[in-house]
Amino acid sequence: MFEIVEEVPKEQLEFVEQCYLDLTKQIPEWFYNIAPFADNGFRGRTHSCEHKKKLSTLRHNELGIFSRASDKTNYSFHNNRTGERFNGLQSDFYNRYTLDHGAVWNMINGKVKTHKGWALN
């Protein structure tokens, strides 16, 4: 069960949250939050090598590839505005046409249909 302990204007939220986090350090058995900083809960901490390997494996399994750069799949794109076509690696595609890497990745993954007139065939 949760309850509102204080209503705070948005511009003061981070400051007030940090005050509460500082309080948790004084009586840790009363609180669950282990984040030391309000602006970035992971700042000042690091993952163990074992955990980094686990995250890498999970990322690889979820995406089917480790990263966009290692994707060696040939894709076919067409530009609805110019009629131009491209067949090849996504990295060659976004480099040749100076396109946003993330937008091309989102097209490939079906999150967006087009980017600057380009669409996946």
In a domain, 106, yes or no: yes
Beta bridge partners of 118: 79, 115
CA 27 to chain centre: 34
User: Does 66 have pLDDT greater than 50?
Assistant: no
In a domain, 95, yes or no: yes
Residues sharing a CB contact under 8 Å with residue 39, sequence separation 6 or more, in sequence order: 14, 18
In a domain, 107, yes or no: yes
**How far is it, in rounded angstroms, from Cα 33 to Cα 30?**
10
User: Does 67 have pLDDT greater than 60?
Assistant: no
Q: Is pLDDT larger for residue 17 or for residue 81?
A: 81
Give per-residue pLDDT as tens, 4-61: 889 999 999 889 888 888 887 787 777 766 677 777 767 777 888 898 888 877 776 6
In a domain, 74, yes or no: yes
Token pair in block for residue 10: 């948005």
In a domain, 24, yes or no: no
In a domain, 29, yes or no: no
Q: Which residue has the tokens 């669409």?
A: 119
In a domain, 6, yes or no: no
Give the chain's domain count. 1
Q: Is pLDDT larger for residue 64 or for residue 28?
A: 28
Domain that holds residue 85: 68-120
Token pair in block for residue 19: 């005050």
